[in-house]
Amino acid sequence: MFNLVIFGPPGAGKGTQSEKIIEKYQLAHISTGDMFRMHIQNDTELGTRVKQILADGLLVPDSITIDMLEEEVTRNKDVRGFIFDGFPRTVNQAEALDAFLEGKGCKVDLVLQLDVDQQVIKERIAERKKISGRADDDESKLVKRIDEYFEKTIHVLPYYQEQGKVVKINGVGDIQAIFGMISEAIDAAI
């Protein structure tokens, strides 16, 4: 199994690059954001619980997120590995993921940090809003999401740096060129 975490602020290009990684390396994609949106769209009980939290641009409580993620990993049997997109977003989630994978005899092998400055993030999300229709792409909600990132999520980086797993990739520029750098990092770790 090869397990990869793709890490970066909202609008860093995690979703875009994840699609390319999946195609090339045949990993199962786990995006907790997509999963929450699916629950909301399907009006599930979980969807009802998290709807307002997503609309406000806040993080869903760890217990809910971790349970949902573990269920999804367990459901995907016989895969070559996973790409975790948008998870972990707190140190608590990162620790839970390590313990969970250890129980399955595997680990997080690589953390790709997409490095993008805040001005670029804002411009990209304004563009994405035109097609995504995501309420949380509104400027007021985006500010909250960026705050959450710098208050809670950024601490996940040193957690993985201490384990020597982080490769930093410049996330600004041509999508294909960025993917080239990502491929090099994966090939070196796989």
Candidates 53, 91, 120, 185; binder of ligand AMP (CB under 6 A) is 53
Confirm whether 80 is a catalytic residue. Answer: no
- From the candidates 20, 107, 129, 134, give the one annotated as an active-site residue: 134
- From the candidates 89, 124, 141, 165, give the one annotated as an active-site residue: 89
The residue behind tokens 């599930």 is: 44
Q: Are 93 and 66 in contact (CB under 8 A)?
A: yes
* DSSP result, 25-69: H-PEEEEHHHHHHHHHHTT-HHHHHHHHHHHTTPPPPHHHHHHHH
Candidates 12, 65, 124, 166; binder of ligand AMP (CB under 6 A) is 65
Q: Where are the beta strands (DSSP E) in the chain?
A: 2-7, 28-31, 81-85, 110-115, 166-170
**Least CB distance from residue 80 to ligand AMP, whole Å?**
22
Site string for ligand AMP, 118-157 (x = CB under 6 A): ------------------x--------x------------
Residue from 19, 17, 30, 29 nearest 171 by CA: 17
Q: Find the part of the chain contacting ligand AMP (CB under 6 A) among 17-25, 29-37, 119-127, 159-167.
A: 29-37
Confirm whether 14 is a catalytic residue. Answer: yes
